[in-house]
Chains A and B, each alone.
Chain A
Amino acid sequence: MKALRNYLNRIKPNFEPGGKYHAFRSVFEGFESFLFVPNTTSKTGTNIHDAIDSKRIMSIVVIALIPALLFGMYNVGYQHYLYTGAVGGFWEMFLYGLLAVLPKIVVSYVVGLGIEFIVAQWKREEIQEGFLVSGILIPMIVPVDCPLWILAIATAFSVIFAKEVFGGTGMNVFNVALITRAFLFFAYPTKMSGESVWVASDSIFGLGKTVDGLTAATSLGVASTAKVADAYPAFSWDMVTGLIPGSIGETSVIAILIGAVILLWSGVASWKTMLSVFVGGAFMAYIFNEFGPETAMARMPWYEHLVLGGFCFGAVFMATDPVTSARTESGKYIYGFLIGAIAIIIRVLNPGYPEGMMLAILLMNVFAPLIDYCVVQRNISRRMNRIK
């Protein structure tokens, strides 16, 4: 640690204005404050500093995402070996998944951080750390066969139009990772939905084997195209452990719950939002179970709705995003409940979208400030009544 600090101190003058590499000042500054808590203090006014800063919060979220990411890598390999009939052990499957997912993570970080670095240098600001989390979320919410070049375009689009034009990290109205997914979903629907993208069909460096025209539907896809009302996929424990086709990081409920425990234990995410998303989803799915239309999606048991698709992932990692969610404490209940309920409504009532979590969260992102406003105004009028 000491040696690293000394090394940074030694090369620092090169990055100061007038130094050899002053064009990369913001890059250096970003890495330095990522590694060490900065020793500068504010110059004006009275400020209260929390012991934790946003880089530390981001690091915790990334750590919480790692179980789901590692399991997603294994599952990519597992599904590939299962569907192509190739033979391989645990480590071969994991290695296959690693090689399939790693390029997506690299593309997402290179494009996203590249734009952030350029913007930071151009505006002469510090690099903002928001993309640390978005960069790892983006590869986790796309299907494994999503081509890299469209991932790069979508990442660039969402960093520029969902984040930088609003003023950068902390100012965005929408969740950046979800905007990436929404862009992909509407711009390249053939690569984001259907039956041919959820299981990798090519061999990578001799691992696995190439099968043409491989199709595998997600469980929600099966339910949305079912002709009869009781043809929804039966509940199995694979849906909980995550050994089913789906977007890379979203399948395993267990791995996501480990992440949820880390987020809640460290206090980064709000349990109120998380819980109320599940309550809202369960409530709405139960209503459809009892009174809904005669379709497989509506008849699917409520607990199955909660474990399938991106519901858990969205509830734990997307809905709790502190920037785009409601900030008032009672607002969080309303915000979370509506996300869960709307996600199920979209799944059941819109046959075009088997998965409603993305659209539900984006929709509620818009309403989060309104919810906060109403909560604050209600509080004000309640207290004003006391002085009458």
Chain B
Amino acid sequence: MSSLFSKKNKEVFSAPLGMNNPVTVQVLGICSALAVTAKLEPAIVMGLSVTVITAFSNVIISLLRKTVPNRIRIIVQLVVVAALVTIVSEILKAFAYDVSVQLSVYIGLIITNCILMGRLEAFAMANGPWESFLDGIGNGLGYAKILIIVAFFRELFGSGAVLGFQIIPSSVYEAGYLNNGLMLMPPMALIIVACIIWYQRSKHKELQDK
């Protein structure tokens, strides 16, 4: 069993959380990071959905990788991802209807999330199911992490709340404080993502482009 958690497998899991983050380093999945992060709750649900879908589609494709003919592999990958997305979407509609309404089309659009196809092509097609599972979980959580950071700042400064609870007291508003309306618009999400990338690259010299 020790090989399940070998050093290499730990690396597979933890790299996407930090030094090989799909959003800040590979700059993938930006579109949904802009769309669903105006509030923290949908961002968390979105992050978890992507984690589940990435993990299981990685496992399934990894199991199929030797039997799928190379020429039709993209179609097979799409079918697998689409099936998982549909399942997650139905589960959300059944058990978390309010959030699924907030997320609207973006759950369906996980199919087009670049991180998914990227991981399938780059990792699952060449590795075993367990490594692929770890890789999927890692990348999903790396994506979720950035979404949660962005959504936290956007909700705090755009609505004065976190997870729907009012954080900034009403006395501050009476003193003349105003919510920043730009925070609720997608451009500000892009700027926050840029700030995270800025912070990460100035901290880690090896990420800087020459």
* Chain A contacts to B: CB under 8 angstroms: 147, 149-150, 153, 161, 165, 183, 186-191
Known: A186-B182, A186-B185, A187-B182. A149 touches B176 (CB 8 A): yes
Alpha-carbon separation in the docked complex, A10 to B122 (Å): 65
Q: Contacting B180 at CB < 8 Å: which of A147, A161, A165, A187?
A: A187
Q: Tell me which residues across on chain B come within 8 A of A190, comparing CB atoms.
A: 178
Alpha-carbon separation in the docked complex, A150 to B176 (Å): 10
B182 touches A147 (CB 8 A): no
Q: Does B96 contact A (CB under 8 A)?
A: no
Q: Contacting A188 at CB < 8 Å: which of B178, B191, B198?
A: B178
B191 touches A187 (CB 8 A): no
Interface residues of B in 132-191 (CB under 8 A from A): 176, 178, 180-183, 185, 191
Known: A186-B185, A187-B183. A150 touches B191 (CB 8 A): no
Alpha-carbon separation in the docked complex, A165 to B191 (Å): 12
A147 touches B181 (CB 8 A): no
* Chain B contacts to A: CB under 8 angstroms: 176, 178, 180-183, 185, 191, 198
The chain A residue with its CB closest to the CB of B180 is A187
B182 touches A183 (CB 8 A): yes
Determine chain A's interface SS by DSSP, over half rule.
Answer: helix
Q: Tell me which residues across on chain B come within 8 A of A161, comparing CB atoms.
A: 191
Q: Tell me which residues across on chain B come within 8 A of A191, comparing CB atoms.
A: 178
Q: Tell me which residues across on chain A come within 8 A of B198, comparing CB atoms.
A: 165
Q: Tell me which residues across on chain B come within 8 A of A153, comparing CB atoms.
A: 180
Q: How far, in Å, is B119 (CB) from chain A's closest CB?
A: 31
7 contacts between A and B (CB under 8 A): A147-B176, A150-B178, A161-B191, A165-B198, A186-B185, A187-B180, A187-B182
Q: How far, in Å, is B76 (CB) from chain A's closest CB?
A: 42
The chain B residue with its CB closest to the CB of A186 is B182
Q: Tell me which residues across on chain A come within 8 A of B183, comparing CB atoms.
A: 187
Q: Tell me which residues across on chain B come within 8 A of A186, comparing CB atoms.
A: 181-182, 185
Q: How far, in Å, is B161 (CB) from chain A's closest CB?
A: 17
Q: Tell me which residues across on chain A come within 8 A of B180, comparing CB atoms.
A: 153, 187-188
Alpha-carbon separation in the docked complex, A161 to B187 (Å): 12
Q: Tell me which residues across on chain B come within 8 A of A147, comparing CB atoms.
A: 176
Q: Tell me which residues across on chain A come within 8 A of B191, comparing CB atoms.
A: 161
Q: How far, in Å, is B98 (CB) from chain A's closest CB?
A: 28
Q: How far, in Å, is B154 (CB) from chain A's closest CB?
A: 12
Alpha-carbon separation in the docked complex, A183 to B182 (Å): 7
The chain B residue with its CB closest to the CB of A161 is B191
The chain A residue with its CB closest to the CB of B183 is A187
B181 touches A187 (CB 8 A): yes
